[in-house]
Amino acid sequence: MPGRTYSIALGLLVLAACQPAAPQPVTPVSVCASGSNAWVREELYFGRGMPNGGEVSDSAWQQFLESEIVPRFPDGLTILDANGHWRSQAGAMVRERSWVLVLYHPADPVADRKVAEVAEAYRKAFAQEAVLRDRDMTCVTL
C-alpha cells in the first residue's frame, strides 16, 4: 500500500509541529452495510527511542501495555511492530523502532479520553516528545 506508507511517513515528519490538543470530532460514516456499525479506528505510534540514547525495552513496553492500555481497552486491541522516522522539534531526523496500537471503539467522549490518557502516559513514562494519534470513522462488522 504505497499511498498508506506515504501518509504515515508524512504524518511522522510533521509530528513535531503538532501540539497536543483535544481530538476533533471525526466525520461520521454516511452508511454502513447491514450488520456493520460505525466506529472510530485509532492508531497510536509509540517510538522506542529515548532522549538519553537508550530504547524502551520489550519488558518495559509489556508492563506499560498491561498496566495502561489493556485496562482501558479490555475488549481488544492490536499491536504492530514498526520502523519509522520523523523530524524532532530540534530539527533532527530520528529513525527508530516503534509500536503501533490499533483500536476500534464506538465514538464517545469516554473512549476519546482513554486514548488521550494512554498517549500522555507513554510520553511521561518514557520521556517522549510526542505520540502520533491517527483516527477515522469506519464500518465494523463483528
Residues in the chain: 142
Residue 8 lies in a domain: yes
Q: Is 89 part of any domain?
A: yes
27 part of a folded domain: no
On whether residue 26 sits in a domain, the answer given is no
- Does 6 score more than 70 pLDDT? no
Whether 42 is covered by a domain: the verdict is yes
Sequence-distant (6+) residues with CB within 8 A of 108 are none
Average pLDDT, integer, range 4-10: 40
- Is residue 28 assigned to a domain? no
Domain of 112, in residue numbers: 2-20+33-140
Phi, psi of 111 (to 5 degrees): -65, -40
pLDDT at 88: 82
Out of 15-19, 32-36, 95-99, least confident range: 15-19
Give the mean pLDDT of 42-60: 94
What average pLDDT does the structure give for the chain? 84
If one counts the domains in the chain, the total is 1
The answer to whether position 78 is within a domain reads: yes
| Sign of the torsion angle spanned by Cα atoms 66, 59, 85, 21 | positive
Prediction pTM value: 0.77
Question: The C-alpha cell of 47 is what?
Answer: 517510538
Does residue 95 form part of some domain? yes
Dump pLDDT digits (tens) for 98-131: 999 999 999 999 999 999 999 999 999 999 999 9
Task: Kindly report the CATH number assigned to the domain that includes residue 84.
Answer: 3.30.70.120
Read off the pLDDT band of 90 (50, 70, 90).
confident
Run of H or E residues at 61: helix 58-64
